[in-house]
Amino acid sequence: MSTYGRAAEESAFVRTYAVTRGRTKPRHLLALETVLEAGRGRPGPAQAEECGEILALCRERRRSVVELAGRLGRPVTAVKVLVSDLLDAGALVVPLTQSYADTGAGSGPSIQMLAAVSVGLKRKWPDAVAYPQAG
């Protein structure tokens, strides 16, 4: 790698470290496919300029975490930290899609919601023993 390449790589790393203020873990659990939209809150005055870019993108339409990282050209982990800050400020929200929404008082969770929870649990604990299904 050339001297210029190393310097550019180090500069990008330092910039990412500065943008996240040295934080490497977001306060919210966010998957790559987590969809976000602009909320009613506002980011704080000390937030990185990337937070403004994230908000502008999410005002256009709903965006996933991985799409935001690609658009900004930043590592996903750094974007998750910034998104977490914006969620805390209420500037971003994770919308509840209709298939997961409550279908009425006393109706219980939807089949789609139960399926999504099941997939998530299987992903988290793939080696867990499943209980036999009622026949």
pLDDT in tens, 26-38: 888 888 889 999 9
- For residue 6 the two structure tokens come to 């190393």
DSSP state of 108: -
Type and span of the H or E element at 92: strand 92-93
Contact 88, 27 (CB under 8 A): yes
**pTM (whole model) above 0.75:** no
Task: State residue 60's pLDDT score.
Answer: 95
Strand-pairing partners, residue 64, are 35
CA 20, CA 85: separation in Å to the nearest integer? 10
Identify which has the larger pLDDT, 31 or 4. Answer: 31
Identify which has the larger pLDDT, 17 or 60. Answer: 60
